[in-house]
Amino acid sequence: MPSPCPLCTPTHENLLWQDDFCRIILVDDPAYPGFCRVILNAHVKEMTDLAEPDRQRLMNVVFAVESAIREVLQPDKINLASLGNMVPHMHWHVIPRFRDDRHFPDAIWAAPKREGKTRGDETLRPRLIAALARRLPAAAG
């Protein structure tokens, strides 16, 4: 019997925003503060499984997250990734990148190149929530 989808039955998510369609969580990764995931609330495997309006709706949320992260953290680059190899449930990774982070310029899933600088503090979450609220309706925190 297949195991339940961890994105369909979430536990211990650090929720920043949600509506009936998707949610935004802050990933617990001290090396990458501000790393967010945009997770579709329905169990859908691929973007092309969504109707065109839903694809656009999901990407609008991804772009709002990117914009909020850029405002709050001012990273050198933003990485967007939708892999789903481990969890085939539509979700996007929105990852702020800095030239001195552990993996730059490689993907965060590569071998680390250095220790990396610590960023973020207890104000990060509320600042991201506020930045998202300016860009998206029905904010939840």
pLDDT tens per residue, range 20-29: 999 999 998 8
131: which residues sit within 8 A by CB, 6+ positions away? 67, 68, 69, 71, 72
pLDDT tens per residue, range 53-102: 999 999 999 999 999 999 999 999 999 999 988 899 999 999 999 999 99
Q: Are 80 and 93 in contact (CB under 8 A)?
A: yes
C-alpha to C-alpha distance for 55 and 63, rounded to whole angstroms:
12
C-alpha to C-alpha distance for 50 and 58, rounded to whole angstroms:
10
Question: What was the pLDDT predicted at 1?
Answer: 47
Question: What was the pLDDT predicted at 2?
Answer: 61
CATH of 14-133, one of 3.30.428.10, 3.30.70.580, 3.30.200.20, 3.30.530.20: 3.30.428.10
- Out of 101-110, 112-121, 129-138, least confident range: 112-121
Domain residue spans in the chain? 14-133
